[in-house]
A and B are shown apart, each in its own frame.
Chain A
């Protein structure tokens, strides 16, 4: 019967081309607006590491006290001081952990005539690679021993490897960074989590891919300053690099891998104990104030999803609802004009269920046509997203297979939903009265 009803639906739609066009346009525009804004929202609210997002945590230690915390509603600073980061690293309470910060590293080409190339880089511990599930094309990350030895090793991106070594396996070869040679231990495969969850404090959350990783211990030894934010609540007591490391300035990111809920609870207790110890030692003059958030909670806390993305999605959804309300009216007019046909069909054996099926399938046909138009307009909309949003966010909005399927699903479901009331009214037609009136 589905094919029969679908055929009847198409026939009915062809019969009233103007009414059909109005409904298809209403659905098409409504769906396109909501899908275009959804594509942006989906990209910005994406879980960048779904397989581990509940196991990776950001600890926060309040090393500034209530005076400064008051300005952040009691929230500890979003980054960590060197003292605390090293303290946590030394205690090594998580399965894996890393300190990280963005560094400004330049590649010095072998050809002296060429200018140095600045690459987007991070200083991390070797644990970061298995923690963040970084995919490798060749080789891998460096070892704990190399961390401890402040080794001159580097992990490079596929793009960087393509540029320097034309895609060949470069593991074991050396690159000159800021005048020093680094041995390549691994070449990453394409990897660009969006948002860049491990550093939403220093980046826009949607930056270009990271090209290089060097050991944190090496960067500290070479006194490589952060290329990101540095916040101090007071000037460092001592001058120079050592004074900076001993200060309460916060500039480091910290991640801990805690596979189970029990691990996370234990780690939070550990953070509390650590802060209490700092209090007892006279460094903190306030009660322990710590946080521990997993990836999605952290992204939420840092408000990674741009507010305009949420607002435009809500506005577009509202627009879709208005379009659907119009569609309800148009479908009602269309269906009730066929009251005599409904009466005849009922007299000839159609049950109310049959009438429901026939008219809902006809509505689905409208939804399908609306979905096609919506898809076309969504394509145009996604292309034009950069006119409204930051280009770095706009480029994330793409019309992929899942969005195409979602567009059709939303169009058909929304239209069928809109058709429920008109169909219910149609099914209430009393065949006796209808036939008598004829």
Chain B
């Protein structure tokens, strides 16, 4: 479903080159629930934005659902984003001027879907997250957990092949976070492919597979000395 091979992402200025991802390799199979973990600045979010075609990459290959995406133009990338990918963001990213119904409708509008089908999909998605009764509410009138559920409904409405979640519970309290996580698990059980970036080891443990990123590379935790150094530093407060 999602395969990156020797992928690199370099941010260049006149004086310095910074590698956000370097020789990055990952292969997520269809129907997998993968948690991507790693310290701040390790490149998790960069990986997610590239995976979601929100950002281009500097080298290597990226196949999404069998399509090599590096040469696609803006229109084609937008179309893939719209049809194959659903996003769930830490900050929910609902549009404050639109009510719940209209927020969920946004990706469907760009798909040129007929009004009746749009309505059916929106209501189905809102039923799914338990917010059908709040369709006319505005984001400001909802709790954080409810807003994230709306964002999940928005991601689900278009029936994407891949769900990309960036710290989906990061802005929620424990109870709300648990509810959102249960919802993601339920969606996964129904066959969705989910890639979730998280800091939270508890959440990561609930995924099928964990991928750890350090310094822009996927690492095998058991064999990577950088992991042990990081653990040592976390425990003692001094570099190993």
Contacts and interface: CB of A to CB of B under 8 A. Distances in A.
A388 interface: no
Given A352-B74, A354-B78, A436-B45, A347 B52 contact: yes
Pick the most buried of A11, A345, A353, A431: most chain B CB atoms within 10 A of its CB.
A431
A346 B54 contact: yes
B75 A353 contact: yes
Pick the most buried of B45, B55, B154: most chain A CB atoms within 10 A of its CB.
B55
B93 to A, nearest CB: 5
B106 interface: yes
B159 interface: no
Nearest to B106: A348
A227 to B, nearest CB: 71
B45 A349 contact: no
A438 interface: yes
A427 to B, nearest CB: 9
Contacts of A341: 95, 97
Contact of A348 (B75, B107, B166): B107
Interface stretch (B63-71, B79-87, B198-206, B231-239): B79-87
Nearest to A354: B110
Nearest to A341: B95
A350 B79 CA distance: 8
B156 to A, nearest CB: 12
Contact of B109 (A4, A351, A435): A4
Nearest to B78: A351
Contacts of A340: 93
Contact of A351 (B49, B74, B95, B158): B74
A432 interface: yes
Contacts, number: 72
Contacts of A235: none
Contacts of A343: 93
Nearest to A15: B97
Contacts of A15: 97
Interface in B42-57: 45, 49, 52, 54-55
Contacts of A349: 78-79, 81-83, 107, 110-111, 158
A12 interface: yes
Contact of B89 (A353, A354, A435): A435
Contact of A432 (B49, B94, B154, B158): B49
Interface in A403-438: 430-432, 435-436, 438
A70 interface: no
A154 to B, nearest CB: 71
Nearest to B87: A347
A344 interface: yes
Nearest to B91: A438
A73 interface: no
B79 A430 contact: no
A1 interface: yes
A328 to B, nearest CB: 23
Contacts of B158: 349
A314 B76 CA distance: 46
Contacts of B91: 435, 438
B74 A344 contact: no
Interface string A5-23: 0000001100100000000
Interface string A344-383: 1111111111100000000000000000000000000000
A354 to B, nearest CB: 6
Contacts of A353: 75
A347 B97 contact: no
Given A346-B54, A435-B49, A435-B89, A351 B97 contact: no
Nearest to A438: B91
A11 B94 CA distance: 16
Given A1-B109, A4-B109, A349-B83, A344 B78 contact: no
B45 A348 contact: no
Contacts of B49: 431-432, 435-436
A371 B82 CA distance: 36
Contacts of A344: 93-95, 106
Given A4-B109, A348-B81, A432 B54 contact: yes
Given A1-B109, A344-B95, A345-B106, A351 B75 contact: yes
A356 to B, nearest CB: 11
Pick the most buried of A345, A432, A438: most chain B CB atoms within 10 A of its CB.
A432
Contacts of A430: 54-55
Pick the most buried of B49, B94, B112: most chain A CB atoms within 10 A of its CB.
B49
A431 B81 CA distance: 12
Nearest to B49: A432
Contacts of A431: 49, 54
B160 to A, nearest CB: 10
A430 B11 CA distance: 14
A347 B95 contact: no
Pick the most buried of B45, B82, B87, B93: most chain A CB atoms within 10 A of its CB.
B93
B238 to A, nearest CB: 31
B89 A438 contact: yes
B154 A348 contact: yes
Interface of A: 1, 4, 11-12, 15, 340-341, 343-354, 430-432, 435-436, 438
21 contacts: A1-B109, A1-B112, A343-B93, A345-B106, A346-B78, A347-B93, A348-B87, A348-B110, A348-B154, A349-B81, A349-B110, A351-B78, A351-B79, A351-B110, A352-B78, A354-B110, A431-B49, A435-B91, A435-B166, A436-B45, A438-B93
Given A344-B95, A438-B91, 16 more contacts: A4-B109, A344-B93, A344-B94, A345-B110, A346-B54, A347-B54, A347-B87, A348-B82, A348-B87, A348-B110, A351-B79, A352-B78, A353-B75, A430-B54, A432-B49, A435-B93
Interface of B: 45, 49, 52, 54-55, 74-75, 78-79, 81-83, 87, 89-91, 93-95, 97, 106-107, 109-112, 154, 158, 166
